[in-house]
Structure 1
Amino acid sequence: MKYLQLLPLLTTAHAATTLIPTTCFSSYSSLEEYFSYLYPWGSDHNGSARMVGNSTDHDYISVESDTLTLVAKPVTGQPDTSGGQEINYLSGAVHSKNTFTVEADSGFDIEAEFQATTDQGTWPAFWLNSAESWPPEIDIAEWKGLSSFLYMTSSEVENHETDYSSPESFHKVKAQIRAENDADIWVKYFLDDVEVTTQYGGDYVGKPLYLIINLQMEGSSGSPGPDTDTYYKVRNLSFEQI
């Protein structure tokens, strides 16, 4: 991956187009208008939770009071993943029905409010991932069993760890993503309306991305995970093209 020298940020005014509205969690029909169930590739990823859910099964993926709730529940007797990972939980994930591409001289504003656990073995995330080949990846918010959470523009870029107090409360996270030139992007991150850091990604322009919301368990967040149900809630999600 190519990295950019940190330069002063120049912005150009554009009219915003709403791609995912704040009403996306107002009902199951609204959820399913903008999101599909599970990961784009299926039910398993880098952890011990298997994603479960569809339009008639809402045990792990539910909406109520304009809030998306994902729950991870301990389980036994599940077959391992194709890579040999033991499955200790069933949980929930959704991903955007559409992909989103940063084009030259454009970008996105993405924000939402989160009630996210920081207990050991819990791994909630809110991220953009390539629809074709990896990278690109933009982790807008990721909690890995710590009293902090991470911003990361790909695993090849040094992550930025930020203190995250009062996880039982909702906190607002925002990412401003802009094309720096015809190939590269910058991402400015905010927590509770306070600017935290800016990161850069090389060769991200023109690459389609899915938005993913998931509650993974163990893996990079440590083990053992909790032996009781774990909840992850998201509300007031807004995704705009600038």
Structure 2
Amino acid sequence: MSATRRQFLIRATAAGLTAASSALCDAQAQTPAPPSRRELPPLPTGGTVVFSDDLLAPDFASDSGFRVDGRPCWQSRLSKTRQQVGNRELGYYADPALNPEAKVWGLDPSTGHRFIQAEYIPEGLSDGRAGKITLGWQKESPITYTAAIITSQTFFNRITTGSYVEFDVRLSKIAGSWPALWLLRSGKWPPEIDIIEAFISSSDYPRDGVATNLHWVSSKGHESSSAPIKLSNFEPGADIFTHFNRFGCFLGETEIVWYFNGKPYRATANLVGPGPWYMLMDVAVGGLVAAPSDPSAFPARMYIRGVKVVQFGSA
């Protein structure tokens, strides 16, 4: 979801998620041929859980990434900004402590699980100076959508070779929303690992469709590897909107493998290095997806049952 990567992801969106069966593994020009589907490695066994969180603490996230008592928590913004200008996103990454017009997150009364959400705020967001916050790429337009993001940059930023990262989430099918689970390194971008993204431009978005992406720097400059995936090829009845699902990624020394409910579905050479990495979960609005067709359909929620990191071998 980095602000400067817009041009590299357009081809993933245009390709369409129905082409997923041909994208189990990618072969880059400088990498050997990837394994076939039956050769995709299973999840390692053993390992040590080095991080886990159900995000149920009342003070689970803040603008600074720290609680009032100084302990780290999830951070409610990107490293340096609350807008993704390069992506031309419509949503402002809000925090309820800073933007009281927005809810941003809460607990689902039916399940007790945490959710984060993008919202429609027809009156716009106040800038605290009797004005409105405007789009960074279209200064005359007040922001009428909020987005939501939480990152572990201050909380847990030690994901590296031998780490398995897993998010247990359920998404919402709201046209104009763009939920994602991803990893970044502190400092300069790229690299980036997108565990999943869902480019929900319309209500016809498939219930089993996601995309995975990898961004790195080579001697040629910024390169990327995008793969739209049809999850029902790996689990009959797969549904990212009705059920909670576990989306995972194992960072091997030479290979990165993506998992859906414990089943491998994509592998590619590790071209991004050992990290260390931190986690991001977000629900964006617009950008690489069409603008919302029905604002009244919002909020667009990501329900989160838990997050964990398992370390295999020494970190």
How many residue pairs match? The answer is: 231
The corresponding residue for 1:224 is 292
Structure 2 counterpart SS, 1:196: strand
Is residue 2:191 matched to residue 1:130? Answer: no
For the pair 1:95 / 2:151, whether they are aligned, the reply is yes
Quote the offset at 1:225 in angstroms.
4.3
What CA distance in whole angstroms lies between the structure 2 residues aligned with 1:233 and 1:72?
A: 12
1:82 match: 136
1:175/1:189 contact within 8 Å kept: yes
Partner of 1:194: 263
Between 64-73 and 7-16, report the one with greater CA deviation: 7-16
Q: Residues 149, 9 of structure 1: CA spacing in aligned structure 2 closer, same or farther, 3 A cutoff?
A: closer
The one-character-per-residue Cα deviations of 1:80-132 (angstroms, maximum 9, x if unpaired) are 33333853311321110242352xxx321111221112332111111012311
2:286·2:292 contact (CA, 8 Å) conserved in 1? yes
User: What's the % identity of the aligned pairs?
Assistant: 13
Which of residues 175, 178, 189 in structure 1 aligns to 2:249?
A: 175
1:178 is displaced (CA, Å) by: 1.4
Q: Counterpart of 1:92 in 2: which secondary structure?
A: strand
The answer for unaligned runs of 5 or more in structure 1 is: 181-185
RMSD: 3.0
Which residue of 90, 96, 113 maps to 1:48? 90
* Whole-angstrom distance in 2 between the partners of 1:110 and 1:66: 23
Report the Cα distance in structure 1 between the residues aligned to 2:257 and 2:90, rounded to whole angstroms.
Answer: 31
Q: 2: CA distance between counterparts of 1:73 and 1:224?
A: 11
Code of the aligned partner of 2:239: S
Higher Cα Rg: structure 1 or 2? Answer: 2
- Aligned partners of 1:17 and 1:240 also within 8 Å: yes
Instruction: Measure, in 2, the Cα distance between the counterparts of 1:177 and 1:39.
Output: 23
- Structure-1 residue corresponding to 2:19: none
1:150 matched to 2:211: yes
> Which amino acid in the other structure matches residue 146 of structure 2?
L
Q: Which amino acid counterpart does residue 91 of structure 1 have in structure 2?
A: A
Aligned to 2:117, which of 68, 71, 82? 71
Cα offset for 1:15? 4.1
TM-score normalised by length of structure 2: 0.63
Q: State TM-score, norm by structure 1.
A: 0.80
Shift of 1:198: 0.9
Of Structure 1 and Structure 2, the greater strand share is in 1
